[in-house]
Structure 1
């Protein structure tokens, strides 16, 4: 275990990264909003496979929350986060204030099309990916990292950020990591702590239903009927379903059968006040 450095300004982070690069060391960035769990630490471990130095950003980004969403109550657990990152031998935490990221007069945003405009998360959170892309673009250019590691749990986000980094020639390689799950299949998420005991017991239904749906698609069952049956099962179980869809795994365009290309199943559903998302490949 080593003590992790904490950078609160772009200047401090860039000075450290410049020294690492001057020494011939690669640098990886793991962007987070804090409230870290085992899935985040897995991202750090993956980053260490690609780079000698790893920075974990902790920033609850206000621009990706809609007015009705949980920005103010989003968990902030810096002391616990720092202890976990020290145990994981991360090199540094980038912990900027909102004013450091969005100083007075800030007036720029990243305009998105492609995987950001396919009628999934963007249909329910129309400003979300603009906020995600803007903060990620800033983090990438602020850190000058060689790699950035993202989990596949936020699959549309992964595709949006990968597309943006490529399109804008940001000079950073996006590294995906498979979703980390609890033993009962529930995708690890900082928002899982909002679930009541009864809701937590029901939550793994999402993964179970998606696994069964994937099996039906692999068995060449009619895709539309298989998806419709799975949607009905989710709603009957007590979820408020935003979407459960089969999409092309790369473009996120709608598909009609396995012949349309690799398929990804994506879901978003609510249990009480908590919104859960998940996805699996077929």
Structure 2
């Protein structure tokens, strides 16, 4: 496994390997867990070489406190990447990516950016679009792999690739969960013992909402979920929405021809957890 910190070096290496080969790319912000490793393992199966980036992107944090507190575990990350036979790692500094101008580009994601997360994290998706587009330009992969836990982000990246005519196939991968159902996240390590023990309640509620959605209206399901969280002493619900998978617009009436997904964001103390489920 080769590790690079400089754009020119990683590009030269990829170019030297690329003739007639396919390149799978997994962008990460480090603090790796089994969910990330599952993306890498899939990329290994579908490509000749796999590149993983480890970069905590400053422009996608709407709160400086979150950027400061985001776990940075590069030595552990490199050990995990070696264990799944990653080929190349790109771990640049912020200066290498942004030079002296750590700002986001402005994007038009056709309204996807204003739904759910976009209502609570201003500028977040411009930051995501900026770094993902930049990494795509550097790595030039055949396929790029993203987890469905950040489903809105996945749809936004698909939209960016389409609108900017970037010749990369975006592959969405199923949410990787702990044995008790909690969606794997780098933030889980920061949960208190009590919050971690109670956290499976989130996915359990999503699964019950899915069952209810089969026979009840979207509004009734939303009201039921909100009521369940009002009764829970350890969690504060930020939002629960049922939306169209393509447009991410909140639905009012069900249409059997449409695909829907339920999205949730919950505060467990100071730690914000997100999850979703296909309906």
Structure 1 length-normalised TM: 0.95
Is the partner of 2:127 in helix, strand or coil?
Answer: helix
Query: In 2, distance between residues paired with 1:104 and 1:230?
Result: 45
Asked whether the equivalents of residues 115 and 156 of structure 1 are also in contact (C-alpha less than 8 Å), the reply is: no
The aligned counterpart of 1:61 is 57
Match of 2:147 in 1: 151
Identify which of 8, 16, 25 aligns with 2:13.
16
Q: Could you say if the C-alpha distance between residues 215 and 224 of structure 1 is closer, same or farther in structure 2, counting changes exceeding 3 Å?
A: same
Tell me the CA shift for residue 9 of structure 1.
Answer: 1.1
Tell me if structure 1 keeps the 8 A contact 2:10–2:90: yes
C-alpha contact 2:105 2:127 (8 A) present in aligned 1: yes
Residue equivalent to 1:200: 196
* Residue 133 of structure 2 corresponds to residue 137 of structure 1: yes
The verdict on how the C-alpha distance between 1:45 and 1:122 changes in structure 2, with shifts beyond 3 A counting, is same
Deviation at 1:112, TM superposition (A): 2.6
C-alpha distance 235-146 of structure 1, shift in aligned 2 (>3 A): same
Are 1:172 and 2:179 counterparts?
A: no
Q: How many residues align?
A: 277
Instruction: State the alpha-carbon separation in 2 of the partners of residues 69 and 257 from structure 1.
Output: 39
Shift of 1:18: 0.8
Superposition pairs for residues 129-278 of structure 1, below 5 Å?
129-218=125-214, 220-238=215-233, 239-259=235-255, 261-278=258-275
Q: What whole-Å deviation, never above 9, does each CA across 1:142-172 have from its counterpart, x for those lacking one?
A: 1111111000000100000111011101111
Superposition deviation, residue 68 in structure 1: 4.6
Distance 1:108 1:252, change over 3 A: closer
SS of 1:56's equivalent in the other structure is strand
CA distance in 2: counterparts of 1:138 and 1:111, whole angstroms: 13
Superimposed CA distance per residue, residues 213-248 of structure 1 (whole angstroms, 9 cap, x where no aligned partner) = 110112x21220121111110232132111101000
- Partner of 1:90 in structure 2? 86
Is the 1:115–1:160 contact (alpha carbons within 8 Å) kept by the matching residues of 2? no
- CA root-mean-square deviation: 1.4
Contact 2:104–2:127, Cα closer than 8 Å, also in 1: no
| Unpaired runs of at least 5, structure 1 | none
Q: Displaced runs of 4+ in structure 1, greater than 4 A?
A: 105-108
SS at match of 2:26: strand
- Which sections of structure 2, spanning at least 5 residues, go unmatched? none
Which range moved further: 30-39 or 113-122?
113-122
TM-score (norm 2): 0.96
- What secondary structure is seen at the aligned counterpart in 2 of 1:159? helix
